[in-house]
Amino acid sequence: MHNPQEINKQIYRLALPNIISNFSIPLLGAVDTALMGRLESEHYLGAVGIGGILFSFIYWGFGFLRMATTGLTAQAFGEKDLRECGCLLLRAICIGITSSLLLLIFQWQVIDLSFLLIDASPDVEHLARIYFHIRICAAPATLCLHAFHGVFLGLQNARYPMLLTIVVNLVNIVLNLVFVRLLDMKVAGIALATVIAQYIGLFVAVLLFSRYYRGILPKWNSPEILAFSKLKRFLDISADIFIRTCCLVFSHAVFTAKSAALSDALLAINTILLQFINLLSYAIDGFAFAAESLIGKYKGAQDIQNLKDTTRLIFLWAFLLGVVIMLFFALFGGHLLHLFTNQMPLIERAKPYLIWITVAPVVNVAAYIWDGIFLGATASRALRNSVIVSTLLYLSAVYLLMPLGNHGLWGALTLLLVTRGVSLTVLAPKYLFKPSDFS
């Protein structure tokens, strides 16, 4: 039934836990950095930094296990087909386990290729390899957790993903302190803490699902799980999301590489300023995740009116949050720089570029929210094409604007987000709101 007030309640119920869980993520990175930064050599910090980047790329690439599962589960939930929700979990777990086994088998080739692309000193490379080979053991748990997160969100339950994220991060932080401070395990301790935390998180996910959703699971040998048409749809959507993610990873890699080409100081400045962008995305993604859950549900239920109302209201709340964050950055951006560095020359050189951080909360909202809406509707091909076009325009802008220095680089990155938002706005009527899609 058409009820904007009820939709608002659902948005709050889904968005707030997602925002809380998102903001627990950078805390873990801060603790890792603080622990390694206080050891006797900077090599430890460099090794964990490189290892963290490698796993960010790997697991970001496998983000389709969470995203595709959320949209498809939400649609099955809207259709009141709970058995298909259970099949989707097992389908995603099968793909996750298969993928993680491949990562474990080819881990030496992955790390060798990585260090062909990364220029690191022999000491840092040695420590980073130790970190990598320990932490890669968590791959089965991490990818299966992607599947559980996706199914919980698709079932309109944001509390369990929040609980899992907080449990994993808190366990990880405690074990980091034990292994590094008490047992002096250094890089190996950081990696081992992550492995143990991921498996504890998976254990908690299984307990939660078994207690509250066990009834929707088919038997493991059910032919429904690997039904060709259902599996093909899952893999097609996953492939589109994977290409979309690769384009975004590549765009950020270009930004970092071009920053380094400008100067070491500007690379450091842009690394700091990107932390502001990350904080913004953690906040807005709370609404984007809510969009995935609700849009998928209403598409599955063929309820076009509530789908339109949800889109409108989520954009409204996300833009309001964006305005609040924009005002916060405008008033306190200069002070926030001191949280990331105590080098005054660096802080002074960073201030002229805060204008790009100030406008980002409003400029970037459309891209973030449309991502969630298109993922919930499983309109993955449109999402993929939008990002490909935006990436090509971004690369052209980098080439044309680089003579302007760092302002040109930030202008190109801003154009990437604007183009994504505008292109998805243009595509939305065709891929989201056609009456024929709901007949």
Q: What is the pLDDT of residues 282-335, one digit of tens each?
A: 889 899 999 999 999 999 999 888 999 999 999 999 999 999 999 998 998 888
User: What's the number of CA atoms in the CB half-sphere (13 Å) around residue 419?
Assistant: 20
Tens digit of each residue's pLDDT (9 = 90 or more) over 215-255: 888 776 677 777 888 889 999 999 999 999 989 988 888 88
Tell me the pLDDT of the chain averaged across its residues: 87
Closest C-alpha among 307, 312, 283, 289 to residue 297: 307
60 pLDDT exceeds 60? yes
pLDDT exceeds cutoff 80 at 117: no
**Per-residue pLDDT, 29:** 62
Domain ranges of the chain: 39-226, 237-439
Q: How wide is the angle at C-alpha 273 spanned by C-alphas 268 and 276, nearest 5°?
A: 145
Choice among 289-298, 341-350, 353-362, 389-398 with the minimum mean pLDDT: 341-350
When pLDDT is averaged across residues 82-109 and rounded to a whole number, the result is 93
Distant-in-sequence, close-in-space partners of 389: CB < 8 Å, separation ≥ 6:
419, 423
pLDDT at position 439 is 42
Q: What is the pLDDT of residue 422?
A: 95
436 Cβ neighbours under 8 A, 6+ residues apart: none
- Residue 276 CA to residue 336 CA, distance in Å, equals 9
pLDDT of residue 120: 65
| Confidence band for 152, pLDDT divided at 50, 70 and 90 | very high
Estimate the crossing angle of helix 365-376 against helix 406-431, to 10 degrees: 30
- pLDDT for residue 259: 81
* Of 54 and 94, more confident: 94
- Distance separating alpha carbons of residues 84 and 211, to the nearest angstrom: 18
In angstroms, the CA 146 to CA 126 distance is: 30
Q: Would you list the DSSP string of 208-277?
A: HHHHHHGGG---TT-TTTT-HHHHHHHHHHHHHHHHHHHHHHHHHHHHHHHHHHH-HHHHHHHHHHHHHH
Comparing 385 with 18, which gets the higher pLDDT? Answer: 385
Query: Six-digit token pair at 44?
Result: 């430890």
User: Can you say whether residue 120 is alpha, beta or left, with left for phi > 0 and alpha for psi between -120 and 50 degrees?
Assistant: beta
As given in the structure block, the two tokens for residue 214 are 């066990």
Angstrom distance (rounded) from CA 185 to CA 267: 31
